Amino acid sequence: MPATLTEPLTNRPVESNGHSSTPIELPGLTTERHNEASEGFDKKSALEIARIINAEDAKVAGAVKKALPEIAQVIDVVARSLRDGGRLIYVGAGSSGRIAALDSSECPATFSTLPAQVQYIMCGGPKALASASDVNEDSPEMGQRDIAKRRPTRKDIVIGISASGRTPYVVGAVEYARARGAKTAAIVCNRDTALANAADITIVAEVGPEVISGSTRLKASSAQKMITNMITTGAMTRLGYVYDNLMVNVHMKNHKLVERGINVLMRVTGVDRETAIRTIKSAGRSIPTATVMLKANVDKMEAVRRLQKADGNVRLAIEDSRLEL
């Protein structure tokens, strides 16, 4: 039940899957602490405000850098899950849930993934993306219920995102998924948290106190966005949906993306614009197929066969001798 003014607002245990975890008081979280660098913030000029925020934002990349080994682990797990027909499912609430939604929604356009391959679960549902939700993120049972609807399996990886690392909704969802055999990971901005204990792999980006104390839509969310970018970009690259550093699996659904696809094919293969357009048309508007056709000097049928055998990995379809007849 939601907290009321007639019950204690601190030291309330987080319960998930029938287990109680040690309560975490907000003042003990680094993301909730007072930031001396922004003292007197409300008396600053616009330029001073911008300078303070910018100086604090500059610390985010360093915090993320310290977590690169764990980020790399998650990249490989996501790549394996997607290769095996599984899914990446993000779970979050508030700002963290919105970061999850943003990353998952951008994968189809960038890498031509199916919407089902990279999903998000937002506490409160899609309506909570645009406005604060009255759904209680303090309910682990609600998190369990929402992830249960996705039927997580051993093929999937579920990533919980929570700046505090203690959001009961997210903890409950991750614990449920792990109990069902799914691989699990956590993206947090505090150490020694309930979510870290619930996940197989924990990515900790300690960004420190926010400019406005507790406003984790600032540095914490910036760190989360950087990390989710790394995870999906890294996984899709490992799967071969990127050739060199080019968006070779781009889905050409509007004029901008059509132009990008043409330019990518020209850059990868060295052909002129007319040849690129002609090949894209004969390849059924598939840049991966067109790329293999030109780079391996094969027809469409053979290019499609190679890509299928290589699980969509463009470089393997072009270069791997094991794919030769």
**The 3-state secondary structure of 102-130, one letter per residue:** HHHHHHHHHHCCCCCCEEEEECCCHHHHC
Contacts of 211 (CB under 8 A, 6+ apart): 35, 37, 38, 41, 52, 53, 56, 218, 219
CATH number, position 105: 3.40.50.10490
Indicate whether 224 and 289 sit together in one domain.
no
* Interval 146-171: pLDDT, tens: 999 999 999 999 999 999 999 999 99
The band of 243, judged by pLDDT with boundaries at 50, 70 and 90, is: very high
Q: Could you tell me the residue range of the domain that residue 301 belongs to?
A: 255-323
Catalytic residue among 137, 175, 206, 210: 137
CA atoms within 13 A on the CB side of 78: 30
Indicate whether 215 and 137 sit together in one domain.
yes
* Interval 182-221: pLDDT, tens: 999 999 999 999 999 999 999 999 999 888 988 889 899 9
| Dihedral class, residue 275 (left if φ above 0, else alpha if ψ from -120 to 50, else beta) | alpha
**What is the token pair recorded at 190?**
């505090």
Indicate whether 222 and 125 sit together in one domain.
yes
Indicate whether 292 and 211 sit together in one domain.
no
Where is the domain boundary, 179, 206, 238?
Answer: 238
Q: How far apart are CA 156 and CA 87, in angstroms?
A: 5
> Would you say residue 136 has pLDDT above 60?
yes
Residue at 1 is within a domain: no
Q: Are 22 and 15 in contact (CB under 8 A)?
A: no
* Interval 53-93: pLDDT, tens: 999 999 999 999 999 999 999 999 999 999 999 999 999 99
Q: What is the pLDDT of residue 26?
A: 64
> Would you say residue 324 has pLDDT above 60?
no
Indicate whether 134 and 278 sit together in one domain.
no
Q: What is the pLDDT of residue 105?
A: 94
Where is the domain boundary, 205, 238, 271?
Answer: 238
- What is the mean pLDDT of the segment spanning 38-65? 93
Q: Annotated catalytic, 137?
A: yes
Is residue 265 exposed (0-12), middle (13-18) or buried (19+ Cβ within 10 Å)?
buried
Residues pairing with 203 in the sheet? 187
Q: How far apart are CA 168 and CA 126, in angstroms?
A: 19
**What is the token pair recorded at 182?**
């799914």
Catalytic residue among 15, 106, 141, 302: 106
Residue at 163 is within a domain: yes
Indicate whether 212 and 288 sit together in one domain.
no
CATH number, position 262: 1.10.8.1080
Q: What is the pLDDT of residue 21?
A: 43
Residue at 7 is within a domain: no
SS3 at position 50: helix
Indicate whether 261 and 198 sit together in one domain.
no
C-alpha angle with apex 259: 255 to 263, nearest 5 degrees?
170
Which helix (DSSP H) or strand (DSSP E) does residue 268 occupy?
helix 255-269
CA nearest neighbour of 90 among 232, 198, 220, 191: 232
Q: What is the pLDDT of residue 6?
A: 38
The band of 4, judged by pLDDT with boundaries at 50, 70 and 90, is: very low
Indicate whether 233 and 261 sit together in one domain.
no
Q: What is the pLDDT of residue 27?
A: 63
Q: Are 234 and 103 in contact (CB under 8 A)?
A: no
Residue at 56 is within a domain: yes
Q: What is the pLDDT of residue 303?
A: 95
- What is the mean pLDDT of the segment spanning 104-109? 92
Indicate whether 234 and 269 sit together in one domain.
no
Residue at 9 is within a domain: no
> Would you say residue 271 has pLDDT above 60?
yes
Indicate whether 218 and 263 sit together in one domain.
no
Residue at 83 is within a domain: yes
Indicate whether 223 and 263 sit together in one domain.
no
Q: What is the pLDDT of residue 135?
A: 63
Indicate whether 215 and 260 sit together in one domain.
no
Domain tally, the chain: 2
The band of 138, judged by pLDDT with boundaries at 50, 70 and 90, is: confident
Q: Annotated catalytic, 70?
A: no
| Dihedral class, residue 165 (left if φ above 0, else alpha if ψ from -120 to 50, else beta) | left
Where is the domain boundary, 238, 271, 292?
Answer: 238
Residue at 2 is within a domain: no
Q: What is the pLDDT of residue 1?
A: 40
Residue at 191 is within a domain: yes
